[in-house]
Amino acid sequence: MKSLSRHLDLQAKISLVLVGVILPTFLIMTIAENKFTQPILEEEVRQMGVHFGKTLAAEIDSSRLLTLPNPTAAIENSLQEKLYSQPNILRIDVVAKDPITGGLKLIASNIEDDPSTPAPLFGLVDAVTSEFKGDEGVGGLWEIYVPIEHRSRDPRGPKKLVGTVHVIASTKLVTRIAGTLWKITASAAGMSVVILILVLSYFLRKTIANDRLLRKAESENLQLTEQLHEAQRQLMTTEKMAVMGQLTASFAHEIGTPLNAIGGHLQLLKEEVASFSGALLDQRFAIVNGQLAKIEEIVKSFLQSTSKPPSQKQLVDLNRLIDKTLGIVTPRMDSLRIEMRRKFDRTMPPVRVVPLDVEQIFLNLLNNSLDSIQMKIKVHENNHYFVDILTRIIKTKGKQWAQVSIYDTGEGIRKIDLQNVLKPFFTTKRPGEGTGLGLTICQQLAHKYGGELVIDSKEGAWTKVIFRLPYHTQI
């Protein structure tokens, strides 16, 4: 609701901005248009009035209408014919000299004046003149005076002023046009604002809908990410339980051997105690005590390896951590008669990691090597098998790395499976012998510290796993 209210407030603000910008813009355009257009149109009206007056004056002179016995009728007939095509002309008066008195006389007009009102009188003009007079009733009037000149038959002869044509032209049509333009502009401004607001509302609604979809997708993405992290935690827990199962099996196997020896010797003691001399009795008890001490050592080692170490990062010597891990798997290696060959760089600086994470990597990798060799022993029992562990410092990709290589002579990995061994739940072991999570967890833990895991193998011959950690993890 807050998001919707915020968007509606934004829409209202934008609408006000549009109204505040578009309407004044149209108003300014209209005022400017009137300022430039109206004088031009008024000038056109004046030109039409002048042209009308000149045409009439030329016709009066060329047709010698003033010399007729009744010039008024002829001139007024001509006026009426011409006025049909000139709606802007309001009044036309023609004055001429009286041939008897020599004074000026109104000859013709399109307006019948009241006999009690004197007719407008004006003098002769020797050139076209015009004057604009404003009138609120009609919008404005042009008063135009055009001379009537009598030309002699000789083109070079003098011109004689015989009268004047008085034309009154109205600019009412210009005022109407300006008013119409104003209405059109105002309507266009209003329609533009309405259309823009409608278009804006449409796109704003689309934006709000898209924003809701985006927020929903983000929420779903967060949920999926949390589920993924939970699944990863469960996978790591599962793998840890699998490792604990392997350790428990190894632990039971290693304890079982000395217990069997103790049981055998105790049985012999029970049967032969009467016939044993003191020296033989001591020997039997020494063997029993030795096996008990061995069991105690195995239990202590197991408890130390399964105790929960600190979860915070600390400086760790990888060589010592490998030695500790080897102590866990050594009994299994001895039982399989596998040779352990190690070549450590004892000058290699420590790295800053959580010890349990790296120990889990080493334990998984070593157990994988032993599982691979054990499977091969079932087919080729009398061969010599070994595991090589090499530690050293390398420089690659512009960084300094601590590198641990584990090489075994087990059954190897098929080339087609190499690209899948790091995927979750993929395993080359038989059903019930592996979860397919060990290498996946190793890779995740390596990436956790900016490291990497590289695997190479030849089917039926060997497997080599390289684990690298960059030294920037010390910072």
Taking phi first (over 0 means left), then psi (-120 to 50 degrees means alpha), and beta for anything else, what does residue 416 get?
alpha
Alpha carbon 322 to its chain centroid, in Å, reads: 49
Cα separation, 189 vs 199, whole angstroms: 15
Domains of the chain: 2-170 (3.30.450), 310-475 (3.30.565.10)
Instruction: Identify the pLDDT of residue 318.
Output: 92
Instruction: Identify the pLDDT of residue 311.
Output: 61
pLDDT digits (tens, 9 = 90+) for 111-131: 776 554 455 567 788 888 888
Residue partners of 271: CB distance under 8 A and separation at least 6: none
Q: How many CA atoms lie within 13 A of 366 on its CB side?
A: 31
pLDDT digits (tens, 9 = 90+) for 154-205: 666 677 888 888 888 887 777 777 777 777 777 776 777 678 777 777 777 7
The answer to whether 48 touches 169, Cβ cutoff 8 Å, is yes
Instruction: Identify the pLDDT of residue 257.
Output: 52
Q: What is the mean pLDDT of residues 232-240?
A: 72
3-state secondary structure of 100: coil
Cα separation, 363 vs 152, whole angstroms: 134
| Residues shown for the chain | 475
pLDDT digits (tens, 9 = 90+) for 371-389: 888 888 887 777 888 999 9
369-381 CB burial, b ≥16 within 10 A, e <16:
bbbbbbebbeeee
